[in-house]
């Protein structure tokens, strides 16, 4: 195997010192005369020299890596966010690295520490628990966007940490009101695990819509944010006598729809369905599922703006929108 060219090789060919080669490669800290810079760049091109990324990171105090830490990449919403972030940061000459904690707090801590050792340029973090264990970010020198942190007050005046704020309560209220507009009166809720802040907020929005309509509260079915959680919720939903349901995420909806079909329950004729945090997948479930979405592309852009220093807003706000499809009783082709 041919020996890889080194910085010393570049310096010899360019007729300069290795320090000057470093200044050219790293963009400083000292200025290099234009004619010398040209010789160094020509030598790099001729030799095919590739700078050591780790050494560059140390010299600059950071890398060109941006990190995303999530609890479950099988979640379509988080997978789509990861894809959009990768596109956004690649466009800005940065690289996305992704950690999946598998809903395990110990694994989450280990991954976060590994990211810090890599001297990442920024972090987006969707934590296993809420509130997030912010002590893990103690003395962090990079900007951080918290994707599911409920309490902005705990961050104090830390200008390098912000939240991406999605109104979970409002999203559930929108979903419930839409089902009520279809004449449904017994609306259930497939929520997340008991004790999760986002699960509680979604239940509050569902309850608010029912209360404002003068209707009795339906059944709440708690379970994991997984396909299995949707499967497990199906029989309880059928037994409840509900004629509609708000489902907390697409993974749950996927499992729920399969089990309703197996039980001979027609959607939307017997039970109308609306899902929260929908993605492009909702259109390809059957029937296509009406969803309350948070536009992922705008989230990715806001996150990238913050960590690259373009925007230092204290909170990054996102707005939910209803996408109508067949599962609630709307026309499959509805664009409203």
For the chain, which domains are there? Answer: 7-51 (1.10.260.40), 65-166+296-319 (3.40.50.2300), 169-293 (3.40.50.2300)
pLDDT at residue 61, rounded to an integer: 46
Secondary structure (H, E, C), the chain: CCCCCCHHHHHHHHCCCHHHHHHHHHCCCCCCCHHHHHHHHHHHHHHCCCCCHHHHHHHHCCCCEEEEEECCCCCHHHHHHHHHHHHHHHHCCCEEEEEECCCCHHHHHHHHHHHHHCCCCEEEECCCCCCCCHHHHCCCCCCEEECCCCCHHHHCCCCCEEEEEECHHHHHHHHHHHHHHCCCCCEEEECCCCCCHHHHHHHHHHHHHHHHCCCCCCCEECCCCCHHHHHHHHHHHHHHCCCEEEECCHHHHHHHHHHHHHCCCCCCCCCEEEEECCCHHHHHCCCCCEEEECCHHHHHHHHHHHHCCCCCCCEEEECCEEECCHHHCCCCCCCC
- pLDDT, one tens digit for every residue, the chain (336 residues): 467 888 888 899 999 988 888 778 766 567 788 888 889 889 888 888 876 554 544 444 445 789 999 999 999 999 999 999 999 988 887 889 999 999 999 999 999 999 988 888 899 999 998 888 888 887 777 889 999 888 766 666 566 888 888 889 999 999 999 999 999 999 999 999 988 888 999 999 999 999 999 999 999 999 999 999 999 999 999 999 999 999 999 999 999 999 999 999 999 999 999 999 999 899 999 999 999 998 888 889 989 888 887 656 567 878 889 999 999 999 865 444
pLDDT at residue 157, rounded to an integer: 57
């Amino acid at each position: 195997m041919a020996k890889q060219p080194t910085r010393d090789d570049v310096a010899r060919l360019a007729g300069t010192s290795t320090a000057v080669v470093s200044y050219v490669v790293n963009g400083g800290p000292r200025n290099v005369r234009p004619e010398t810079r040209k010789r160094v760049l020509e030598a790099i091109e001729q030799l095919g020299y590739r700078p050591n990324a780790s050494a560059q990171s140390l010299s600059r105090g950071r890398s060109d890596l941006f990190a995303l830490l999530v609890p479950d990449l099988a979640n379509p919403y988080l997978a789509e966010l990861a894809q959009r972030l990768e596109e956004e940061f690649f466009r800005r000459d940065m690289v996305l690295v992704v950690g999946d904690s598998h809903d395990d707090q110990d694994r989450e801590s280990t991954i976060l520490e590994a990211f810090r050792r890599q001297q990442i340029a920024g972090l987006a973090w969707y934590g296993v628990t809420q509130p997030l264990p912010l002590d893990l970010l103690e003395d962090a020198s990079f900007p951080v966007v918290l994707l599911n942190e409920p309490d902005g007050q705990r961050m104090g005046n830390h200008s390098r940490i912000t939240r991406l704020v999605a109104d979970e309560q409002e999203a559930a209220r929108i979903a419930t009101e839409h089902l009520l507009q279809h004449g449904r009166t017994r609306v259930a809720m497939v929520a997340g695990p008991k004790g999760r802040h986002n699960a509680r907020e979604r239940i509050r929005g569902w309850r608010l819509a029912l209360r404002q309509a003068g209707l009795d509260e339906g059944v709440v079915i708690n379970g994991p944010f997984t396909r299995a959680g949707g499967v497990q919720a199906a029989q309880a939903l059928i037994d409840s006598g509900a004629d509609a349901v708000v489902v907390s995420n697409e993974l749950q909806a996927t499992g729920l729809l399969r089990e309703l079909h197996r039980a001979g329950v027609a959607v939307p004729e017997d039970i109308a369905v609306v899902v929260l945090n929908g993605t492009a997948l909702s259109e390809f479930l059957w029937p296509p599922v009406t969803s309350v979405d948070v536009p992922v592309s705008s989230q990715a852009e806001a996150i990238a703006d913050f960590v690259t220093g373009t925007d230092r807003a204290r909170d990054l706000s996102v707005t939910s929108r209803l996408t109508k499809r067949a599962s609630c009783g709307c026309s499959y082709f509805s664009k409203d």
